[in-house]
């Protein structure tokens, strides 16, 4: 195991403040940084020695032999234990879970986000298949903490094995039901989960609590159960490594990887990169970013995707169509550059809005297209030969309705990743947005 780099910002909020110094011996589960505002405790994920303390990270040299035991968090009430354990939204959002669970739902809902919407990632579904009971127990702890009367698992219907496991685990749990989701992107967006499960459309400034709900990801709920039942600090992460890997493009699922492990080490553990490659994506194909092998995983890293090479556009003029649930403009420009294209026009889906200037984009109605013809007309007028789109399933379908007729050639920002993993490209919508539900939600 190489040195671990534990970032001081792995959550929404301010970077944490280190509480260790160079040369300190640390044990697994020992607090090494604490919040300096909104944030969550950060722990050593190994036994070892602090090698360096930098502005943005703590570097730990691990001992050769690692024990399973860890330093437990103090006993307390359930919410205090979730806070002490430093649990954050492990689905990628990174919002401190104890802050989220500080909401009195007055009989409302815990919505379990099991959509695992980023194509190719499958560690959440694997966790349901293999350790469903822990997730259910975490859900029940959260119901108690938030005073919720009900819970709903939101999961894609295509995950038949996981749905069957859930149905088995939920026998006798009258207050917990299942809502089946269609296999389209982005069903895992928090407000999409609320809309699908409760039929309530929230605007971009509203939190799920406005619909009487708190939304938690599958792994987050498992970490809540570990914090409360095992007094375990949150220092490890489940994730999927997939792509151009020696041995093939099947996913490699890793459970409980020490936070701070390098991307390169996890690729090596999967078999190593198979020859030339395009880029390494940390996160999902829609919302992730290009990463170097040296970069460390955090509490919010869900995927590592090694892609095939990019096509070469030989300096052609390109239009970029930005979606709130896909890559940012910066990421789209990064991809365009890697394809040797020249971005000459940038447009946003009209439902992608900033709540305040400079804030990340939010979608007004995730996954329900407002029309894209106007953007295609702009790209044509600006002389684009190609367009790179980052849109959701429904909007990609709409783009396909007009762009080819205008002579625009289309790439989706996820194409190189989808071709690598053998997933259909995001173009025409080939599945229904409606799915038949289970009788009585079970």
Q: Which residues bind ligand SF4 (CB under 6 A)?
A: 186, 323-325, 349, 351-352, 363, 366-367, 369-370, 391-392, 394-395
Residue 370 or residue 441: which is nearer to ligand SF4 going by CB? 370
Residue 291 or residue 363: which is nearer to ligand SF4 going by CB? 363
Residue 45 or residue 397: which is nearer to ligand SF4 going by CB? 397
Residue 59 or residue 352: which is nearer to ligand SF4 going by CB? 352
Residue 128 or residue 325: which is nearer to ligand SF4 going by CB? 325
Q: Is 93 exposed, middle or buried (0-12, 13-18, 19+ CB in 10 A)?
A: middle
Q: Which two tokens stand for residue 333?
A: 């420009």
Least distance from ligand SF4 to the Cβ atom of residue 58, Å: 37
The string over 353-365, giving b where at least 16 C-beta atoms fall within 10 Å of a residue's C-beta and e elsewhere, is beeeeeeebbbbe
Q: Collect all residues with Cβ–Cβ distance below 8 Å to 139 and sequence separation of at least 6.
A: 110, 112, 151, 153, 176, 216, 221
Least distance from ligand SF4 to the Cβ atom of residue 285, Å: 14
Alpha carbon 280 to chain centroid distance?
Answer: 16
Q: Which two tokens stand for residue 20?
A: 């260790």
The SS3 of residue 435 is coil
At residue 5, φ and ψ (nearest 5 deg) are: -115, 110
Residue 116 or residue 394: which is nearer to ligand SF4 going by CB? 394
Residue 182 or residue 370: which is nearer to ligand SF4 going by CB? 370
Identify the residue whose tokens are 């970490």: 223
Least distance from ligand SF4 to the Cβ atom of residue 433, Å: 12
At residue 86, φ and ψ (nearest 5 deg) are: 70, 30
Alpha carbon 295 to chain centroid distance?
Answer: 17
Least distance from ligand SF4 to the Cβ atom of residue 364, Å: 7
Least distance from ligand SF4 to the Cβ atom of residue 195, Å: 12
At residue 53, φ and ψ (nearest 5 deg) are: -125, 110
CA distance 276 to 25: 40
Least distance from ligand SF4 to the Cβ atom of residue 297, Å: 26
- Whole-number Cα distances in Å, 353 to 6, 180, 349, 400: 33, 28, 9, 23
DSSP letter, residue 160: H
Residue 73 or residue 361: which is nearer to ligand SF4 going by CB? 361
- Whole-number Cα distances in Å, 159 to 116, 127, 365, 378, 437: 10, 12, 25, 40, 14
The string over 386-398, giving b where at least 16 C-beta atoms fall within 10 Å of a residue's C-beta and e elsewhere, is bbbbbbbbbbbbb
CA distance 412 to 392: 10
Least distance from ligand SF4 to the Cβ atom of residue 21, Å: 45
Least distance from ligand SF4 to the Cβ atom of residue 214, Å: 22
Residue 111 or residue 392: which is nearer to ligand SF4 going by CB? 392
Least distance from ligand SF4 to the Cβ atom of residue 249, Å: 27
Judge whether 417 and 307 are in contact, CB under 8 Å. Answer: yes
Least distance from ligand SF4 to the Cβ atom of residue 266, Å: 29
- Whole-number Cα distances in Å, 32 to 24, 63, 88, 423: 10, 17, 16, 41
Residue 298 or residue 391: which is nearer to ligand SF4 going by CB? 391
CA distance 387 to 131: 43
């Amino acid at each position: 195991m190489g040195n671990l780099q534990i970032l001081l910002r792995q959550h929404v909020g301010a970077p944490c403040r280190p509480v260790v110094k160079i040369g300190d011996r640390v044990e697994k589960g020992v607090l090494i940084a604490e919040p300096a505002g909104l944030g969550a405790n950060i722990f050593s994920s190994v036994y070892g020695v602090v090698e360096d303390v930098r502005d943005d990270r703590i570097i730990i040299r691990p001992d050769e032999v690692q024990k399973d035991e860890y330093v437990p968090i103090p006993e307390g009430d359930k919410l205090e234990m979730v806070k002490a354990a430093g649990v954050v939204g492990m689905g990628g959002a990174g919002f401190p879970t104890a802050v989220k669970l500080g909401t009195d739902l007055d009989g409302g809902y815990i919505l379990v986000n099991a959509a695992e919407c980023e194509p190719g990632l499958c560690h959440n579904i694997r966790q349901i298949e293999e350790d469903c009971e822990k997730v259910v127990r975490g859900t029940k702890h959260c119901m108690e903490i938030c005073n919720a009367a009900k819970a709903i698992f939101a999961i894609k219907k295509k995950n038949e094995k996981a749905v069957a496991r859930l149905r088995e685990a939920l026998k006798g749990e009258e207050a917990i039901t299942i809502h089946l989701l269609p296999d389209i992107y982005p069903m895992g967006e928090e407000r999409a989960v609320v809309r699908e499960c409760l039929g309530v459309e929230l605007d971009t400034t509203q939190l799920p609590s406005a619909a009487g709900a708190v939304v938690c990801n599958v792994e987050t709920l498992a970490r809540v159960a570990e914090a409360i039942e095992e007094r375990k600090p949150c220092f490890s992460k489940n994730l999927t490594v997939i792509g151009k890997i020696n041995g093939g493009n099947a996913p490699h699922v890793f459970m409980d990887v020490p936070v701070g492990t390098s991307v390169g080490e996890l690729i090596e553990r999967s078999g190593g990169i198979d020859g030339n490659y395009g880029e390494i994506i940390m996160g999902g194909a829609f919302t992730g970013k290009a990463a170097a092998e040296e970069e460390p995983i955090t509490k919010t890293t869900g995927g590592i995707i090694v892609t095939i090479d990019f096509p070469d556009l030989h300096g052609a003029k390109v239009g970029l169509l930005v979606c709130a649930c896909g890559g940012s403009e910066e990421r789209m420009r990064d991809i365009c550059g890697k394809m040797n294209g020249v971005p000459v026009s940038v447009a946003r889906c009209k439902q992608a809005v900033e709540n305040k200037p400079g804030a990340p984009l939010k979608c007004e109605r995730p996954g329900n297209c407002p029309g894209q013809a106007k953007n295609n007309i702009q790209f044509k007028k600006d002389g684009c030969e190609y367009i790179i789109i980052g849109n959701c399933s429904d909007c990609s379908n709409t783009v396909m309705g007009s762009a080819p007729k205008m002579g625009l050639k289309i790439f989706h920002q996820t194409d190189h990743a989808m071709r690598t993993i053998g997933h259909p490209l995001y173009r025409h919508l080939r599945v229904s947005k409606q799915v038949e539900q289970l009788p009585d939600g079970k």
